[in-house]
């Protein structure tokens, strides 16, 4: 009998598995690479919503949990994944500069926003109204981290790289049986793949497709992430991730010409030099109607649990939410009401 089966290994699965490992729980992970959100993500952590200059929900607490959490993974896997990276917000007008300075005076935002105007000295970029700079930002090399963690699980014999078949679960009072495995609990972390999960597909994961292009541009020489209508995120070796798009209609993970055209058009409004597109990626963000994560235990089956709804901010939200879920399962702690799936209980089904 093992302690946990975890279905899905994106940011939600990683946050859950690392939390379980910290508490020396035994785990077996299923991953079939059907969803791509975490593997294509920009990997930025940023406590501020740069469209409106507001603080992201619970950002301070999440930052305090997330960075030590990823450092721990770095130590465990003996690899570097966390990169300090400044985020510069390009202003479109003097009015926007003024809104930024107003935001700098607000108590929650003061800690995250620099009240200095940053002038641009990079001739490849057109930045007529300067930048504002966000503090406590960076990038997690998420694709590399997931890959290394999966290798680690594989070496321990705790990974099945295959589809999890929901109709093969036997739910018993004190355990779950699945093929040859017997576990005390199962946690589902399938991102947008939750739509196929008969136990939890009542939860309102809407899904929002995002695409990036990756460009090569030797003349750009940029060491910070720049946010205008889209992000430019430096990856090293003259490569940059540029995007992303938001599309709530198309629910496939295929890249599209329309997204490429949209990103290039926006990029050309402030990048003056030529570039080469070397790749394009797409994934579905597991977004929820009320923009809050989903954590908790199935209303009718006490061994089935879920962590989902990380939306467009999985890097920061994942670790804190996984910790809450762990204490809920193991110690009966009440989940914060914003994240508890109890808020959607009336939609649930028993079969």
Ligand X SMILES: Cc1cc2nc3c(=O)[nH]c(=O)nc-3n(C[C@H](O)[C@H](O)[C@H](O)COP(=O)(O)OP(=O)(O)OC[C@H]3O[C@@H](n4cnc5c(N)ncnc54)[C@H](O)[C@@H]3O)c2cc1C
Cα 300 to Cα 48, 80, 88, 240, 303, distances in angstroms? 38, 42, 47, 47, 9
| DSSP 8-state code for residue 116 | S
Strand pairing report for 87-90 and 82-84: unpaired
Q: Which is nearer to ligand X, 251 or 274 (CB)?
A: 251
Least CB distance from residue 258 to ligand X, whole Å? Answer: 15
Site string for ligand X, 313-342 (x = CB under 6 A): xxxx--------------------------
Least CB distance from residue 102 to ligand X, whole Å? Answer: 26
Least CB distance from residue 126 to ligand X, whole Å? Answer: 24
| DSSP 8-state code for residue 10 | S
Q: Which is nearer to ligand X, 69 or 192 (CB)?
A: 192
Cite the DSSP H helix spans in the chain. Answer: 11-22, 37-40, 59-77, 94-104, 107-110, 142-155, 257-268, 314-331
Span near ligand X by CB under 6 A; candidates 103-111, 115-123, 183-191, 327-335? 183-191
Contacting ligand X within 228-287 (CB under 6 A): 244, 283, 285-286
Binding test (CB under 6 A) with ligand X, winner from 27, 43, 185, 341: 43
Span near ligand X by CB under 6 A; candidates 49-57, 116-124, 304-312, 330-338? 304-312
Binding test (CB under 6 A) with ligand X, winner from 18, 21, 28, 31: 31
Q: Which is nearer to ligand X, 210 or 296 (CB)?
A: 210
Q: Which is nearer to ligand X, 121 or 168 (CB)?
A: 168
Q: How many CB atoms lie within 10 A of CB 67?
A: 17
CA–CA dist 34, 253 (Å, integer): 9
Least CB distance from residue 39 to ligand X, whole Å? Answer: 7
169 close to 250: Cβ distance less than 8 angstroms: no
The pair of three-digit structure tokens given for residue 2, joined into one six-digit string: 């093992």
Nearest to 323 by CA among 55, 48, 10, 20: 20
Chain contacts with ligand X (rule: CB under 6 A)? 7-13, 30-35, 37-38, 40-44, 163-164, 189-193, 210, 212, 244, 283, 285-286, 308, 310-316
């Amino acid at each position: 009998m093992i302690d946990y089966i975890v279905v899905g290994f994106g940011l939600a699965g990683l946050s859950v598995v690392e939390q379980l490992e910290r508490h020396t729980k035994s785990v077996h992970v299923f991953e079939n690479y059907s969803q791509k959100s975490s593997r294509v993500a920009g990997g930025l952590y940023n406590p501020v919503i740069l469209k409106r200059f507001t603080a992201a929900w619970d950002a301070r607490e999440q930052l305090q949990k997330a960075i030590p959490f990823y450092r721990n993974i770095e130590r465990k896997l003996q690899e570097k994944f966390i990169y300090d990276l400044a985020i510069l917000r390009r202003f479109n007008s003097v009015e926007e500069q003024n809104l930024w300075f107003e935001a700098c005076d607000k108590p929650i935002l003061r800690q995250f926003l620099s009240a200095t105007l940053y002038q641009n000295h990079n001739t490849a970029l057109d930045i007529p109204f300067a930048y504002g700079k966000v503090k406590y930002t960076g990038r997690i090399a998420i694709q590399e981290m997931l890959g290394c963690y999966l290798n680690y699980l594989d070496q321990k014999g705790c990974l099945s790289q295959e589809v999890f078949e929901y109709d093969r679960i036997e739910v018993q009072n004190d355990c779950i049986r699945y093929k040859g495995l017997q576990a005390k609990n199962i946690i589902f972390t399938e991102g947008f793949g939750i739509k196929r999960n008969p136990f939890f597909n009542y939860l309102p994961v809407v899904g929002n497709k995002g695409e990036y292009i990756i460009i090569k541009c030797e003349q750009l020489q940029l060491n910070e992430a720049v946010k205008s209508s889209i992000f430019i995120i430096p990856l090293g070796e003259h490569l940059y991730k540029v995007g992303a798009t938001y599309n709530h209609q198309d629910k496939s993970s295929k890249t599209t010409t329309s997204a490429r055209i949209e990103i290039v058009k926006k990029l050309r409004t402030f990048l003056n030099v030529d570039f080469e597109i070397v790749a394009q990626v797409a994934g579905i963000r597991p977004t929820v109607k009320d923009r809050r994560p989903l954590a908790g235990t199935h209303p009718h089956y006490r061994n089935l649990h879920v962590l989902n709804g990380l939306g467009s901010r999985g890097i920061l939200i994942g670790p804190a939410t996984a910790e809450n879920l762990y204490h809920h399962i193991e110690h009966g702690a009440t989940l914060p009401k914003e994240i508890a799936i109890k808020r959607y209980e009336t939609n649930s089904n028993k079969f």
